[in-house]
């Protein structure tokens, strides 16, 4: 292996961006310049009607299926314990069973909920493991201040939220609390702050230009495998360029007036209704048309006076006390999901309501946490102009099996995305 030319300075390989750190992948062709902690000059810098919309809500641990799925499919299904909070919205949603992505891995496969693809398998897929929300956001562009909003926590089992992924395979970090979400939606920078932001935009733009300018000369010095890695890297650079241009476009546009006082963060349990309210405001003000919320992290059972942890409760081992504790947490999630639907229905939007024009997906990438399974996922779809009011029990296996990504493809087409595939889809939803 030959050593890399000394002219290949590390400045070519690292990029400061708006809240993003990009580091060059390990390239064997660059020898000692390629790998090791010492080569990573990674620094992040923080800068400060009738339209179709999409919301996706997921949790990390699924739902207790015996109290979720009815015994009878169709329109006359019985309202199980976990469905009872949704009773007033019965005609506004559809419950599905039998849908999943055909993946395995338990907790380590939950991240595929909105993509259908495990991260480790992303390279072999035409669009990687891009998630449903981010695929839709690509078509929104600069029409809204935020192409999408990703809300959740960085705490909890197996790391923070991992539900949302870009086309380049980068995890979209969540907005971690109600206060941060409020500020993002309603708090403008000062004049001095805006001037500094413009300076940072110019600096970042020049860095991106320099990095892209070096791409061709660097590529000629690499072997085939390293060129493929470098191409993945520059896909990430292009993602940052798009983010930068959108932020620059909206820098001087005032944010809407805040209709509520700025909140303080407490915890995911107590803040859940407020996060939902802020999501409604984000859609209502057209600050975004796409939002996701991942429930997990600090959604802790101790806030319910339960000593056993949420994760432990989900591994109930059929112990009645643990199941009862788990259902207490799940009842609460369902109650506030129902409240969210009520809020969307209360807002007029064109000739209908905000719920009529918003596709709301609710579920989890975990089916049965007690058994660590990712098949037969809990999936609820509400609003969005679809015909609702039934429980659809689809085949769990065999020739009639339908991939969950078929439903996602239909959602994308309803949103206005011109595509004939998504993830592991085999067609549109039946």
Provide the Cα torsion 112, 115, 118, 123; round to 10°.
-160
Domain final residue, candidates 246, 275, 291? 246
Cβ(411)–Cβ(384) below 8 Å: yes
One domain for residues 228 and 310: no
- Is the confidence at residue 274, as pLDDT, over 60? yes
CATH classification at residue 314: 3.40.720
What's the whole-number mean pLDDT along residues 143-157? 86
Domain final residue, candidates 202, 218, 246? 246
pLDDT of residue 3: 41
What is d(CA 62, CA 376) in angstroms, rounded to the nearest whole number?
11
- Is the confidence at residue 25, as pLDDT, over 70? no
**Which residues, at least 6 apart from 366, have a Cβ–Cβ distance to it below 8 Å?**
59, 60, 61, 62, 106, 107, 110, 373, 374, 377
Cα→Cα distances 290→150, 211, 236, 357, Å: 9, 31, 21, 12
Grouping H, G, I as helix, E, B as strand and the rest as coil, residue 279 is helix
More confident call, 334 vs 26: 334
One domain for residues 196 and 276: no
Please name the residue that has the structure tokens 């705490």.
155
pLDDT band at 154 (very low <50, low <70, confident <90, very high): confident
One domain for residues 232 and 196: yes
Question: Domain for residue 388, yes or no?
Answer: yes
pLDDT of residue 105: 94
One domain for residues 224 and 275: no
Question: Domain for residue 168, yes or no?
Answer: yes
- Is the confidence at residue 268, as pLDDT, over 80? yes
What is d(CA 347, CA 285) in angstroms, rounded to the nearest whole number?
11
pLDDT of residue 37: 32
The range of the structural domain enclosing residue 66 comes to: 53-188+257-415
Per-residue model confidence as pLDDT tens digits over 109-135 = 999 999 999 999 998 898 999 999 999
Please spell the DSSP secondary structure of 382-429, one letter per residue.
EETT-----EEE--SSSTT---HHHHHHHHHHHHT---S--TT--SS-
Question: Domain for residue 2, yes or no?
Answer: no
pLDDT of residue 298: 82
One domain for residues 218 and 182: no
Angle between helices 191-219 and 224-250 (to 10 degrees): 160
pLDDT of residue 248: 67
Question: Domain for residue 316, yes or no?
Answer: yes
One domain for residues 100 and 237: no
Cβ-count burial of 2 within 10 angstroms (0-12 exposed, 13-18 middle, 19+ buried)?
Answer: exposed
One domain for residues 214 and 261: no
Question: Domain for residue 425, yes or no?
Answer: no
Cβ-count burial of 421 within 10 angstroms (0-12 exposed, 13-18 middle, 19+ buried)?
Answer: middle
One domain for residues 242 and 349: no
Question: Domain for residue 430, yes or no?
Answer: no
- Is the confidence at residue 363, as pLDDT, over 50? yes
How many domains, in total, are found in the chain?
Answer: 2
Question: Domain for residue 422, yes or no?
Answer: no
Cβ(163)–Cβ(173) below 8 Å: no
More confident call, 155 vs 117: 117
One domain for residues 175 and 271: yes
Q: Which two tokens stand for residue 329?
A: 């947490």
Per-residue model confidence as pLDDT tens digits over 184-200 = 999 886 656 555 555 55
One domain for residues 229 and 164: no
Question: Domain for residue 342, yes or no?
Answer: yes
Q: Which two tokens stand for residue 212?
A: 């892209």
One domain for residues 17 and 126: no
pLDDT of residue 224: 66
What's the whole-number mean pLDDT along residues 297-325? 93
β-strand pairing of 352-353 with 348-349? antiparallel
pLDDT band at 235 (very low <50, low <70, confident <90, very high): low
What is the number of alpha carbons within 13 Å of residue 197 lying toward its C-beta? 20
Work out the mean pLDDT of the chain and round it to a whole number.
83
pLDDT of residue 335: 98
Q: Which two tokens stand for residue 362?
A: 């609710």
Cα→Cα distances 368→57, 61, 313, 323, Å: 18, 8, 12, 12
Cβ(81)–Cβ(66) below 8 Å: no
User: Which phi-psi region, left, alpha or beta, contains residue 151 (left: φ > 0; alpha: ψ -120 to 50)?
Assistant: beta
Domain final residue, candidates 246, 278, 312? 246
One domain for residues 202 and 115: no
pLDDT of residue 202: 57
pLDDT of residue 28: 46
């Amino acid at each position: 292996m030959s050593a890399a030319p000394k002219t290949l300075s590390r400045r070519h390989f690292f990029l400061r961006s708006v809240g993003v750190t990009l580091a060059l992948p390990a390239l064997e062709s660059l020898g000692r310049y390629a790998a090791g902690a010492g080569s990573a000059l990674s620094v992040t810098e923080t800068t400060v009607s009738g339209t179709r919309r999409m919301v996706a809500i997921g949790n990390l641990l699924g739902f207790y299926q015996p109290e979720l799925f009815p015994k009878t499919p169709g329109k006359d299904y019985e309202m199980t314990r976990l469905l009872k909070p949704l009773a007033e919205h019965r005609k506004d949603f559809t419950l599905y069973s039998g849908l999943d992505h055909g993946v395995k891995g338990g907790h380590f496969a939950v991240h595929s909920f909105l993509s259908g693809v495990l991260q480790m398998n992303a390279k072999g897929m035409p669009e990687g493991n891009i998630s449903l929300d981010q695929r839709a956001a690509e078509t929104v562009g600069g029409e809204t201040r935020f192409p999408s909003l990703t809300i959740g926590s960085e705490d909890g089992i197996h790391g923070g939220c991992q539900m949302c992924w870009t086309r380049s395979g980068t995890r979209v970090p969540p907005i971690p609390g109600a206060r941060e979400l409020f500020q993002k939606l309603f708090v403008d920078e000062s004049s001095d702050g805006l001037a500094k932001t413009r300076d940072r935009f110019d600096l970042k733009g020049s860095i991106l230009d320099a990095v892209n300018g070096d791409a061709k000369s660097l590529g000629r010095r690499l072997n085939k495998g390293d060129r493929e890695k470098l191409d993945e890297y520059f896909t990430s650079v292009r993602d940052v360029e798009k983010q930068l241009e959108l932020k620059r476009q909206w820098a001087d546009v005032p944010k809407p007036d805040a209709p509520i006082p700025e909140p303080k963060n407490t915890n995911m349990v107590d803040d859940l209704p407020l996060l939902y309210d802020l999501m409604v405001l984000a859609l209502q003000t057209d600050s975004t048309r796409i939002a996701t919320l991942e429930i997990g992290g600090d959604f802790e059972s101790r806030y319910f006076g339960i000593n056993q942890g949420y994760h432990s409760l989900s591994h109930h081992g059929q112990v009645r006390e643990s199941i009862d504790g788990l259902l207490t947490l799940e009842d609460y999630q369902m109650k506030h999901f129902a409240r969210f639907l009520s809020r969307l229905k209360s807002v007029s939007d064109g000739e209908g309501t905000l719920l009529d024009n918003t596709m709301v997906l609710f579920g989890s990438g975990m089916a049965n946490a007690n058994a660590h399974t990712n098949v037969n996922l809990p999936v609820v779809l509400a609003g969005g102009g679809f015909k609702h009011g039934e429980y659809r029990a689809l085949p769990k296996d065999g020739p009639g099996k339908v991939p969950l990504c078929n439903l996602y493809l239909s959602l994308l087409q309803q949103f206005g995305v011109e595509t004939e595939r998504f993830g592991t889809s085999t067609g549109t939803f039946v």
